[in-house]
Amino acid sequence: MVDLDFLVIEYHLKKTVALIEYKHWRGEETFDLNNANYQALMDMADRAELPFFVSFYRPETWVYIVYPGNAKSFEWITTKTEMNEHDYVRFLYKMRYIEIKKEILEKLQ
Torsion of the alpha carbons at 73, 78, 81 and 86, rounded to the nearest 10: -60
Domain that holds residue 47: 6-107
Nearest to 22 by CA among 6, 45, 41: 6
Whether 1 shows a pLDDT value over 70: the answer reads: no
- 64 forms bridges with which residues in the sheet? 57, 83
Structurally, how many domains does the chain consist of?
Answer: 1
- Predicted confidence band at 14 (pLDDT cuts at 50, 70, 90)? very high
Residue-wise pLDDT for 24-80, tens only, equals: 888 888 888 998 889 999 999 999 999 999 999 998 998 999 999 999 999 999 999
Assigned domain for 1 exists? no
